[in-house]
Amino acid sequence: MRKLKSSSSEMELDRPNIEEYLPIESIQHHHENLRLRDLLNISPTLTEAAGAIIDDSFTRCFKSNPPEPWNWNIYLFPQWCCGVVVRYGILFPARVLVLTLGWIIFLSSYIPVHFLLRGHDKRRKKIERYLVEIICSFFVASWTGVVKYHGPRPSMRPKQVFVANHTSMIDFIILEQMTPFAVIMQKHPGWVGLLQSTILESVGCIWFHRSEAKDREIVARKLREHVQAIDSNPLLIFPEGTCVNNNYTVMFKKGAFELGCTVCPVAIKYNKIFVDAFWNSKKQSFTMHLLRLMTSWAVVCDVWYLEPQNLKPGETPIEFAERVRDIISVRAGLKKVPWDGYLKYSRPGPKHTERKQQSFAESVLRRLEES
Amino acid sequence: MGNASSMLTQYDIEEVQEHCNNLFSQQEIVSLYQRFCQLDRNSKGFISADEFLSVPEFSVNPISQRLLKMVDGLNFKDFVAFLSAFSAKASIQQKIELIFKVYDLDSNGKVTFNDILEVLRDLTGSFMSEKQREQVLSHVLEEAGYTSTSALLLDDFIKILGNSDLKMEVEVPVD
């Protein structure tokens, strides 16, 4: 390196200094001796820590987008007030009415079908599926969902799973109104839980508790059974395992990618002009989330059914998951972050810290040997 | 969380700015305040150790436990003062002072052989043996003209680190 520099002409001085672009460790490699100053200088580690305190990619994934205020203006303000009156005074009651009507229609046909057609499983399942689709359409109508579906509609075939990015439980409703998916989801408390264990069970949905390790095995077994069955509804998995604010994608869990099935990616992107569809489940109950949607002008969103993907030879399930995440992120315009969404509920393991410690220890030892 | 910037008046911002020797611009302080409120989930007025650790990028840092002893329970003013050493405007001296404080956790103004060893233990974990660490440390101390019994003062730190280029800068995102 030094030789090169001394022989170079003065023109070379204008060139960018390549060392500035290299990571710190490779620069340190130049001094052979380990000196006290190198050992005491903890600035890289400190800077990393301060950087994480000031801003970090993980917290950004779960930040609700505050609505853009546009009404702070003397002549826009009255318009905004009119909007509030229309949204809360006219739209909201009308939507409640629509939703109630939907429930009446749904329950008055679901209950008789469920109990009277006990003997005819096949026919009963078909009608129930249809009814679930209908109630989902009512839900979408209750927030005036303007949903654009792109790409070919999913077909019912064995040995395929659908994976989508996850923003809110309404993802499921939006997808369900078109196709009767069987979904894998966290078990919720309250009325949602009741729906899960009664009605949605009939579409073949699988529920689990995130925190219970035993549930994981049961889900894995149920998954395999479900995929093998010819007659079952197509399976829908949200591999992020948690709701993200629709600007980022967190790591995909590999479970959906090691079933040996064709994976059909679905990308969902919400338009935030009227309302932010992100469900921050730590701050808001699902009921409040729905009320927020029902008092907004509309929920605008795009759904893309993307080209089915298969595991390439020599690819691990994790690499496969990353590849599918890439496809979805590009289509929906989301940024990828290297974090596991479950870190919302638990601390990261020692693995990451150990990797940093290892690289530091190795550089110290290597340079000690050289001196 | 609401509109956090509206909760800070011009006076508040100026007060905080003074407290951190004007190392942050007013916009940066507004950004830091929003971040502070975001991390202080229950709006207690300070950020607890647990809330710091909820940031995965922080909690995987090898010296996070050590730093927690410095930042746990800081109010906004002191939070900004702590971070001010990472401002691009901060002098080398201020940056070294912060490094010194990380070593000198009991703040008696002296950094002993054991203090350095402790930090080294955090940084290397199980990938170096205790014996190796002691060996490395006495070796470099002797080479620099100290012994393993001598205690380093802030002036020593400035002498040792002063002419190395410390890259200790973090940009505050301003929208």
Q: Is A350 within the bounds of a domain? A: no
Q: Which of A175, A167, A301 is nearest to A242 (CA)?
A: A167
Report the 3 state secondary structure along chain A. Answer: CHHHHHHCCHHHHHCCCHHHHCCHHHHHCCCCCCCHHHHHCCHHHHHHHHHHHHCCHHHHHCCCCCCCCCCCCCCCHHHHHHHHHHHHHHHHHHHHHHHHHHHHHHHHHHHHHHHHCCCCHHHHHHHHHHHHHHHHHHHHHHCCEEEEEECCCCCCCCCEEEEECCCCCHHHHHHHCCCCCEEEEECCCHHHHHHHHHCHHHHCCEEECCCCHHHHHHHHHHHHHHHHCCCCCCEEECCCCCCCCCCEECCCCHHHHCCCCEEEEEEEEEECCCCCCCCCCCCCCHHHHHHHHHCCCCEEEEEEECCCECCCCCCCHHHHHHHHHHHHHHHHCCEECCCCHHHHCCCCCCHHHHHHHHHHHHHHHHHHHHC
Residues A208 and A185: their CA atoms lie apart, in Å, by 7
pLDDT at A208: 82
Task: State the pLDDT at residue B47.
Answer: 92
Cβ–Cβ of B125/A55 closer than 8 Å? no
A295 neighbors A88 (Cβ within 8 angstroms):
yes
Can you tell me the mean pLDDT for A355-371?
85
Q: Look at chain A and count its residues.
A: 371
Q: Return the closest-CA partner of residue B146 out of A224, A80, A367, A40.
A: A40
β-bridge pairing A160-164 and A335-336: unpaired
Domain interval for residue A254: 142-344
Q: Please say which residue of B85, B112, B127 terminates a domain.
A: B85
Mean pLDDT of all residues in chain A?
83
Q: Do B18 and B79 fall into the same domain?
A: yes
CB contact under 8 A, A39 and B57: no
* Residue B73 sits in the same domain as residue B99: no
Measured CA to CA, the distance from residue A34 to residue A364 in angstroms comes to: 7
Q: Give the per-residue pLDDT at A164.
A: 95
Q: C-alpha angle B167/B172/B175, rounded to 5°? A: 150
> B42 with B100, same domain?
no
Residue B46 within a domain:
yes
Range A271-280 average pLDDT: 88
Strand partners, A264: A162
- Residue A73 in this model has a pLDDT that exceeds 70: yes
Look up residue B89 and give its amino acid.
K
Whether pLDDT at A56 is above 90: no
What amino acid is encoded at B97 in this protein?
A: E
Q: Residue range A35-52: average pLDDT?
A: 89
Helix (H/G/I), strand (E/B), else coil: B12:
helix
Those of residues 84-123 in B touching chain A at CB distance below 8 A are 86, 95, 98-99, 102-103, 116, 119-120, 123
In terms of Cα–Cα distance, which of A268, A271, A267, A270 is closest to A327? A267
What ipTM does the predicted assembly reach? 0.90
The pLDDT of residue A31 is 52
What local confidence, expressed as pLDDT, does residue A371 receive?
61
Residue A4 has pLDDT above 50, yes or no: no
Nearest to B123 among A48, A54, A357 (CB): A357
Instruction: State which of B85, B107, B140 marks the end of a domain.
Output: B85
pLDDT computed for residue B164 by the predictor: 75
Full DSSP string of B83-152: HGGGSTTS-HHHHHHHHHHHH-TT-SS-B-HHHHHHHHHHHHGGGS-HHHHHHHHHHHHHHTT--TTPPB
Taking Cα atoms as reference points, which of B156, B151, B158 lies closest to residue B94? B158
Lowest mean pLDDT among A79-83, A199-203, B19-23: A199-203
Q: Is the pLDDT of residue A10 over 50?
A: no
Output A316-321 pairs: Cβ under 8 A, ≥24 positions apart: A317/A254, A317/A257, A317/A258, A318/A254, A318/A257, A320/A254, A320/A257, A320/A263, A321/A239, A321/A251, A321/A252, A321/A253, A321/A254, A321/A256, A321/A257
Q: What percent of chain A has pLDDT over 70?
A: 91
| Other CB atoms within 10 Å distance of the CB of residue A73 | 11
Q: Tokens for A188, please give them.
A: 């919720």
pLDDT of residue A175: 93
Task: Give the residue among B152, B140, B74, B85 at the shortest CA–CA distance from B112.
Answer: B152
Instruction: For residues B51 and B98, state if they share a domain.
Output: no
- Residue A17 — very low, low, confident or very high, per pLDDT cuts 50/70/90? very low
Q: Distance (Å, rounded) from C-alpha B15 to C-alpha B7?
A: 14
Q: How far apart, in whole angstroms, are the C-alpha atoms of residue B161 and residue B99?
A: 10
Contacts of A34 in chain B (CB under 8 A): 136, 139-140
Domain contains A1:
no
Exposed, middle or buried by CB within 10 Å (0-12, 13-18, 19+), for B41?
middle
Residue A41 belongs to some domain of the structure: no
| Same domain, residue pair B65 and B119 | no
Angle at B65 (CA atoms; ends B64, B68), nearest 5 degrees: 85
CB contact under 8 A, B35 and A54: yes
Share of chain A above pLDDT 90, in %: 36
Among the candidates B85, B104, B121, a domain finishes at B85
A47 found inside a domain: no
Interface test with A, best of B170, B171, B174 (most A CBs within 10 A): B170
Q: How far is CA A234 from CA A52, A110, A198, in A?
A: 41, 21, 19
Q: Does A27 reside within a domain?
A: no
Q: In chain B, positions 51-70, which contact chain A (CB-CB < 8 Å)?
A: 52-53, 55-64, 67
Q: A132-145: per-residue pLDDT in tens?
A: 999 999 999 998 89
**Structural domains of chain A, count:** 1
Question: Would residue B38 count as lying in a domain?
Answer: yes
Q: Same structural domain for residues B74 and B42?
A: yes
- Does position A25 have pLDDT exceeding 70, yes or no? no
Q: Report the pLDDT averaged over residues A347-358.
A: 86
Per-residue pLDDT tens over the stretch A146-186: 999 999 988 888 888 999 999 998 999 999 998 888 888 88
Show the tokens assigned to A203: 């579409």
| Domain containing residue B151 | 92-162
Distance from CA of A92 to the nearest CA of B (A): 24
CA distance A247 to A240: 13
Same domain, B124 and B63: no
Mean pLDDT confidence for B120-132: 92
Domain membership flag for residue A286 = yes
Assess whether B81 and B21 both reside in one domain: yes
For helices A43-54 and B76-83, give the axis angle rounded to 10 degrees: 140
A55 contacts in chain B (CB < 8 Å): 35, 172-173
pLDDT, tens digit, 9 for 90 and up, residues A235-264: 899 999 889 989 999 999 888 898 888 999
Q: Is residue B106 part of a domain?
A: yes
Q: Establish if B136 belongs to a structural domain.
A: yes
Confidence of residue A32 (pLDDT cuts 50, 70, 90): low
Judged by a CB distance cut-off of 8 A, whether residue B7 touches chain A is no
Q: Do B24 and B76 belong together in one domain?
A: yes
| pLDDT (0 to 100) of residue B77 | 92
Q: How far apart are CA A245 and CA A171, in angstroms?
A: 12
CATH number of the domain within which B143 lies: 1.10.238.10
Q: How many domains does one find in chain B?
A: 2
In a domain, B2, yes or no: no
For residue B82, the model assigns a pLDDT of: 94
What pLDDT score does A303 carry?
95
Instruction: Give the C-alpha separation, A188 to A367, whole Å.
Output: 55
Within this chain, do residues B22 and B76 fall inside the same structural domain, yes or no? Answer: yes
- Asked if pLDDT for residue A347 goes beyond 60, the answer is yes
The SS3 assignment for B74 reads: coil
- The answer to whether position B151 is within a domain reads yes
- Are B148 and B115 in a shared domain? yes
Integer-rounded Cα radius of gyration of chain A: 27
Q: How far apart are CA B8 and CA B11, in angstroms?
A: 8
